[in-house]
Amino acid sequence: MKLIHQLSKETGIPIGTIRFYEKSGLFRGETKKEVTTNKYVYYGNDVVEKLRFIQMAKAVGFTLAEIKEVVDAWYKKQLSQNAKIEVLDRKLVQIEEKIKDLKAVKKQIELCKFNIENEVS
Amino acid sequence: MKLIHQLSKETGIPIGTIRFYEKSGLFRGETKKEVTTNKYVYYGNDVVEKLRFIQMAKAVGFTLAEIKEVVDAWYKKQLSQNAKIEVLDRKLVQIEEKIKDLKAVKKQIELCKFNIENEVS
DNA sequence: TGCAACCATGCAGTATACTACATAGTTGTA
DNA sequence: TACAACTATGTAGTATACTGCATGGTTGCA
Measured between CA atoms, how close is B32 to chain A, in angstroms? Answer: 28
For residue A62, pLDDT over 70 is answered with: yes
Which nucleotides of chain D does any protein CB come within 7 A of?
6-9, 16-21, 25-27
User: Which residue of A99, A113, A121 is in closest CB contact with B102?
Assistant: A99
**Residue A25 backbone zone (phi > 0: left; psi -120 to 50: alpha; other: beta):** left
* Integer Cα distance of B85 and B62 in angstroms: 18
Nearest to A85 by CA among B118, B104, B102, B116: B116
Q: Is the CB of A17 under 7 A from strand C?
A: yes
Q: Please list the alpha-helical segments (H only) found in chain B.
A: 4-11, 15-23, 45-59, 64-75, 81-117
Nearest to A26 by CA among A58, A2, A59: A58
Chain B residue with the nearest C-alpha to that of A112: B74
Q: Please list the alpha-helical segments (H only) found in A1-121.
A: 4-11, 15-23, 45-59, 64-75, 81-117
Nearest to B113 by CA among A48, A55, A93, A21: A93
Q: Is the CB of A23 under 7 A from strand D?
A: no
pLDDT of residue A76: 81
Q: Is the CB of A40 under 7 A from strand D?
A: yes
pLDDT band at A121 (very low <50, low <70, confident <90, very high): low
DSSP code per residue over A79-103: S-HHHHHHHHHHHHHHHHHHHHHHH
pLDDT band at A110 (very low <50, low <70, confident <90, very high): very high
pLDDT (tens digit per residue) in B46-75: 999 999 999 999 999 999 999 999 999 998
What is the CATH class of B4-117? mainly alpha
For residue A120, pLDDT over 70 is answered with: no
Chain A residues touching B54 at Cβ < 8 A: none
For residue A8, pLDDT over 80 is answered with: yes
H-helix or E-strand spanning residue A62: none
Q: Is the CB of B41 under 7 A from strand D?
A: no
Q: What is the mean pLDDT of chain A?
A: 96
ipTM of predicted assembly, 2 dp: 0.93
- Where are the domains positioned within chain B? 4-117
